[in-house]
Amino acid sequence: MLDKAGKLMFGFLKKRRGGQPPLFCSAVVPAAGSSRRMGGENKLFAQVGGMAVLARTVMALAGSELIGEIIVATREEDLMTAADLCRACGVEKPLKLVVGGATRLESVAKALEECDPRATLAAVHDGARPLVTVDVIDEAVRRAAECYAAAPAVPVKDTIKEAGEDGVVTATPDRSRLFAVQTPQVFDMDLLKGALKAALDAGITLTDDCGAVERLGKQVVLTKGSYENIKITTPEDLILAQAIWDNRNGG
């Protein structure tokens, strides 16, 4: 007997037998986090290259011809500031802002509800990854159009250790098989909606959207990421992001 996740996957596969619909990809930007590790500063409003992080993220997504629209999910108290920043970007593609939820999954789910009905793919991209390139975006979108779920990643550079609460090392995974996953993580729209609903109904806490899809038994294909596609989490990341921006632009 199929469990709830199994039924969702069976229904998805049955529906897809009729063929692939035309590609229309909506970009969903979860930007409702608390920035706890930024020392009180909202990382999305911090400056990189003279522009707010959120604005640079929106402009990066808009630069891809494969992205049809952008939906930003932010905190209610930040809604007006975020709207002003997005408006100042001058993005010509459809751009909406919604109030996010208490968790990343809730924010993404709320944003998906506002996507264009024509959307066959959803690209979920961290609001705090302003340095993503069009090449990284496009490769993930094209791969997801073929296999339903794709995400950019880079091989880890450091040796990774597993340890218990006492700090004692319990395992050393093979580094050659380890990858740091980035965004945008791109999925078939119906698959992602079903996966998020299943995870939310189960009360599961996940750090990325791939995890929700993996719970349904669906494979996620990794595409080529970039070591410059960093997520700004701490004040040190802002320093690195500025250095990357300056290097790209001859600063």
Residue 18 lies in a domain: no
The predicted model gives 75-82 an average pLDDT of 93
CB 241 within 8 A of CB 131: yes
Query: For the domain that residue 125 is a member of, what is the CATH number?
Result: 3.90.550.10
C-alpha span between 247 and 49 (Å, rounded): 11
Residue 94 lies in a domain: yes
Our count of domains for the chain comes to 1
Q: What is the pLDDT of residues 211-232, one digit of tens each?
A: 999 999 999 999 999 999 999 9
The predicted model gives 15-25 an average pLDDT of 64
**Mean per-residue pLDDT over the chain, rounded:** 90
pLDDT bracket for residue 82 (50, 70, 90) = very high
Residue 166 lies in a domain: yes
pTM: 0.90
Residue 16 lies in a domain: no
Residue 148 lies in a domain: yes
pLDDT bracket for residue 23 (50, 70, 90) = confident
pLDDT above 50 (res 1): no
pLDDT above 80 (res 35): no
- H or E, element range at 176: none
CB 30 within 8 A of CB 192: no
Q: At what angle do helices 53-62 and 134-147 cross, to 10 degrees?
A: 60
Domain, as residue range, for 232: 23-248
Report the pLDDT value the prediction gives residue 41, as an integer from 0 to 100.
Answer: 77
Residue 8 lies in a domain: no
Residue 15 lies in a domain: no
Residue 38 lies in a domain: yes
